[in-house]
Amino acid sequence: MRIVIALGGNALLRRGEPLSAENQRENIRRACAQIARVAPGNELVVAHGNGPQVGLLALQGAAYKEVPSYPLDVLGAETEGMIGYIIEQELGNVLPFEVPFATLLTQVEVDPQDPAFQAPSKPIGPVYSREEAQRLAEQRGWSIAPDGDHFRRVVPSPRPKRIFEIRPISWLLEKGCVVICAGGGGIPTVYDQQGRLQGVEAVIDKDLCSALLAEQLGADLLVIATDVDGAYLDWGTAQQRRIVEAHPEQLERLGFAAGSMGPKVEAACQFARHTGKVAVIGSLEQIEAIVRGEAGTHVSLAATGLRHA
């Protein structure tokens, strides 16, 4: 099977952990140990988040006053290289030596008229107290928003339209390469009025880009790996129940939170609807069972009802 695995932010950094290289490597090591279990006999593409890493680079850049801060598209490219390097290394430590790996910088076209540019919503960087977040917003002109009990910087998150490197990704897969790409939702780019491609100040949602990636690659399965074992009905209550299987239309009616499960559900529904294939939302620790069809929340057009555990 050709499988696209979209790693959630928890695969790189757990909530509340310091943004150290050691913490990120340890989390990626655990993620790669799970991914390696489904590598034999399959074509693998790994996408990943980068919100905390982009935010950290932005903070570090702001401390250097000699030049203007680097734009988000450049920071996104930097994090694709950094995270891809660690994923390649840790996968290489658990898979046979002859398995090749490649990390591709991935440019993704967005619409410059996307309404997201007028309503920043994508959280990046570390979490702050309300007071600290408000101070930084005033100092640096940031938009901030609640994130659980804390606050984070938010930036525009336009929808992905096209992945420019889709052909070389396909070529690498055909040669048996494990490909790491579309990190952080890809590098957001637009065509200017002269038809020149350039970066734009935004961060694309990783799950929506992963769905587009899986669709354009003709993937057999999209796995959206996170820190919970699926999407839930009545989440956070004594009546919560994991959704085992659902049709996209049924799942979309449930109204999941925009800042957490919402984009994952939207991405899974988009892939299932556009391809007729299966998308699964589930825990990284259960990835073998997910690929076997035994774990997670399965979203497909073949589902005849909403079934829960």
Which positions are annotated as active-site residues?
A: 9-10, 122, 206, 264
Q: How far apart are CA 34 and CA 90, in angstroms?
A: 11
> Rounded CA gap, 206 and 79, in Å?
13
213: tokens are 């990636």
Per the DSSP assignment, residues forming a β-bridge with 273 are none
The two structure tokens encoding residue 190 = 């637009």
CB burial of residue 289 (10 Å; 0-12, 13-18, 19+): middle
**SS3 call for 232:** strand
* DSSP tag of 236: T
Distance CA 237, CA 214 (A): 33
